[in-house]
Amino acid sequence: MEPIQPQQRRVADQVFQESLEELEDILQESSTEEEEIPQVHTSSPSEVELDQDLTNIDLAALEDAVADIEKYLEERTKTK
């Protein structure tokens, strides 16, 4: 092992440690900023309607759509 390698490793380690500390500071600042901004979620009428539509999905229609997709993929695979 050359004498330069241990020194290079120490320098690389020091740079890496400094980068980790800097990243930690950035993450702490980011989380502090997020905490200061209150998150208020209000549902608009369209969101409520969308939620209701999603709960009223026709299972038979969904199964038909899946079958159509599977058929398409099988045909596509056969032609290749």
Whole-number Å distance between alpha carbons of 78 and 24: 53
Q: Which two tokens stand for residue 26?
A: 């950035």
CB-side exposure of 40: number of CA atoms within 13 Å?
4
The domain locations on the chain are 1-40, 42-80
Instruction: Report which residue type is found at 69.
Output: I
Instruction: Report which residue type is found at 23.
Output: L
- In this prediction, residue 66 carries a pLDDT of 92
- In this prediction, residue 52 carries a pLDDT of 62
- In this prediction, residue 36 carries a pLDDT of 60
Q: What is the pTM of this model?
A: 0.36
- In this prediction, residue 44 carries a pLDDT of 61
Instruction: Report which residue type is found at 54.
Output: L
Residues of the chain below pLDDT 50 = none
Instruction: Report which residue type is found at 56.
Output: N
- In this prediction, residue 42 carries a pLDDT of 57
